[in-house]
Amino acid sequence: DAKTTQPPSMDCAEGRAANLPCNHSTISGNEYVYWYRQIHSQGPQYIIHGLKNNETNEMASLIITEDRKSSTLILPHATLRDTAVYYCIVRVGGIYNQGGKLIFGQGTELSVKP
């Protein structure tokens, strides 16, 4: 079962920051938080991942709370092309047995509006 909880949908105005929340209260100490998005009719696209520190790349920023029980993905200036389903995933730890698996939850459908 997925270990994350996300709101089913959100709206954001074009040009504004989109802040997508995720709860992962049962995360283990060595498990990473990953974010992917899926635009209609395409495969999931990797956005960013982190363990406990905040992370930033050219696409987004990831803010992880100190207790690691929740995180927020920030798209600083949302455009219409950012309309997609965003998945927050806790990646199963270890390289043996079930290690490395991505278990997708239901995701958040983000609509960026003009």
99 sits near another protein (criterion: CB under 8 A): yes
Reduce the DSSP state of residue 4 to 3 states and report it. Answer: coil
- Quote the least distance from Cβ 100 to another protein, whole Å: 3
- Which region among 13-21, 62-70, 74-82, 105-113 touches another protein (by CB under 8 A)? 105-113
φ, ψ for residue 80, nearest 5 deg: -60, -30
Q: Per CB under 8 A, which region of 13-21, 57-65, 73-81, 88-96 contacts another protein?
A: 88-96
User: CA-to-CA distance for 88 and 25, rounded, in angstroms?
Assistant: 13
Instruction: Report residue 77 as tokens.
Output: 């200036």
Among 86, 107, 108, 110, binds another protein (CB under 8 A): 107
Contact (CB, 8 A) for 73 and 35? yes
**What is the rounded distance in angstroms from the CA atom of residue 104 to the CA atom of residue 86?**
10
- Interface residues with another protein (CB under 8 A)? 2, 30-32, 34, 36, 41-46, 49, 51, 87, 91-95, 98-107
